Amino acid sequence: MGNALIVFDPTTGPPIAQRVQAQFEGRLLRGYQEGLQQGFDVTAEVAPSLLAFLRNDLGCTCLVDLTAVDYAKYPEAQPARFGVIYILLCPETGARVKVRAFVADSAPRLATAVPLFAGADWAEREVFDFFGIVFEGHPNLKRILLPDGYRDHPLRKGYPLRGKGERADFEVYRAFTG
């Protein structure tokens, strides 16, 4: 109690963009600045090494969030259908970095981030549950919010708001409806 106000200036942190660009010369799809947040687009193959570099060398030790976007119906063309988004935080400087890893449509696969960030465990399960993206090497990749026997991935574009009738598979529902 009574500690001084902790204020960071994200611009005084380590020059993340320059270091990443020097290290990943030619392997980044794009680098950009969104407000105070730096962003890098990469392919699924480059993502694990970029995440490891950000964590081990640039101090981004905290995974704030991990999610995915299905760009199937997005009006602007993207490098691949799925984008897996990592929001990282550097606790020393307060700097934030966004990494967007593009994953192809056919059998989407990506290496897991659990060895780097323990918090990726449930977040990757959630992405697997809702988008059907498989995280290779994940210790326990199974559905997290939907029932195990669910047949589809509801946050993919094209999945209807009212569902596809999966409810009829549930034992409890059948017991009530006969």
Partner 1 sequence: MYSYDTEVSELAENVVSVNVGPSHPAMHGTLRVKLQLAGEKVLACEQEIGFLHTGFEKLGEHHSFNQFITVTDRMNYLSPLNNNIGYALAVEELLGIEVPRRGQVIRTILAEMSRIADHIFCVGLMTMDLGAFSSVLWTMIEREKLYDIFEATTGTRLTTSYTRVGGLAFDLPEGFEARTRQIMDTCEQTLGQLRDSFVNNKIFLDRTQGVGVITKDQALSFGLSGPVARASGVPLDQRAYRPYLVYPELDFSVPLHEEGDCLARYLIRIDELEQSIAMVRQALKLLEPGPINHESAKRILPSKDLVYRDMESLIHHFKVVMPGQDHGIHPPKAELYSSTEAPNGELGFFLVSDGSHSAYRMRVRSPSFYNYQLLSHILPGHMVSDLVAILGSMNVIAGELDR
Q: What does the binding site for partner 1 look like in residue numbers (CB under 8 A)?
A: 1-8, 34-37, 61-65, 67, 69-70, 73-76, 85, 87, 89, 91, 94, 96, 98, 117-119, 121-123, 130, 143-147, 154-155, 159, 161, 170-172
Of the pair 23, 61, the CB lying nearest partner 1 is at 61
CB of residue 119 vs partner 1: minimum separation in angstroms?
4
Q: Are 52 and 88 in contact (CB under 8 A)?
A: no
Report the SS3 class of residue 82: strand
CB of residue 22 vs partner 1: minimum separation in angstroms?
25
Q: How far apart are CA 147 and CA 125, in angstroms?
A: 13
Of the pair 26, 33, the CB lying nearest partner 1 is at 33
Q: How far apart are CA 67 and CA 87, in angstroms?
A: 9
- The order of strands in the sheet holding 96-103 is 30-34, 37-43, 96-103, 82-89, 62-70
Q: Are 32 and 98 in contact (CB under 8 A)?
A: no
Q: Are 105 and 81 in contact (CB under 8 A)?
A: yes
